[in-house]
Amino acid sequence: MRPRPPLKGRGVLSGTGLIVTGLVATLAAMVFPIWSYADRSGTGLAVLNAQSVTTGYGPLSALDRDFVTKVRLAGLWELPAGRLAEQKGTTDAVRTAGRHLVEGHTSLDDEVRDVAAKLSLQLPDEPTGQQRAWLETLGAAEGTEFDARFANILRLAHGKVFTVVAEVRAGTRNSLVRKLADDANTTVLDHIRVLEATGHVDYEALARDLVADSTPPLTPSPAPPGPVADPTPAEPVNPDPSPTYSLPPAASSPRPRTTGTP
């Protein structure tokens, strides 16, 4: 008996099946990570929700709670620092800056204690070790040395908290925290201005200290443009004292009027 020849198309069918199977497997491999990522724990939104508590004024996140604590801590050491400046400052500008600190943080401290009571938050009663060290430094300084130390220590501290206030104000979902951030922003900006008005702020040292505490960007910034070897001198523009402007031609002629037509 002669062997039966293979059926035509059987090999083609098997090859097509392998191709289809491979495509399905590839698609599943692409879809699975997306599906699993959407439900996995540890994402930004999941962490935010996990660390938030429900209040009558909106969700209260961990960042919100940390911000309320920082506002309280700022008052605990900047109020005494402001009083020292009122007493020991050698210029009107330094004493004025001290008065602004006292007035601003007196108002903010009243507000933050009211916010904490409504949100059932505990607040610290003493400044941090770093803040106590700053107060000791100011207490030991006299004359113009005090003026310089006061302006630079307080300006550095306000520069650091300024970014925190902006972050909280931009993202908080709690109405009490949002109002506190508004008031803190106004107060901090006022204090930055009066501290700079003393004329004692060392901006080079300030920039170095702020950069030292910040996280470097993942991608370095491009280098600034270099000097031009032979720049073309700028030429002044002398406008015509009585310029004239020609009107463009009409788009269409007016429709002729007919008798009896208004």
Give me the mean pLDDT over the 130-135 stretch.
96
Residue 131's nearest CA partner among 204, 80, 68 is: 80
Annotate 225-244 with DSSP letters as a single string. Answer: PPPPSSPPPP------SS--
pLDDT(57) > 90:
yes
Cβ neighbour number for residue 147 with a 10 Å cutoff: 23
pLDDT attached to residue 257:
55
pLDDT attached to residue 51:
82
187-238 residue pLDDT tens: 999 999 999 999 999 999 889 887 776 544 444 434 444 444 444 454 554 5
Distance in angstroms between the alpha carbons of the first and the last residue of the chain: 108
The residues that bridge with 115 in the sheet, in sequence order, are none
Is 52 or 30 the better-scoring residue by pLDDT?
A: 52
pLDDT attached to residue 166:
93
Give me the mean pLDDT over the 90-111 stretch.
97
pLDDT(28) > 70:
no
pLDDT(167) > 70:
yes
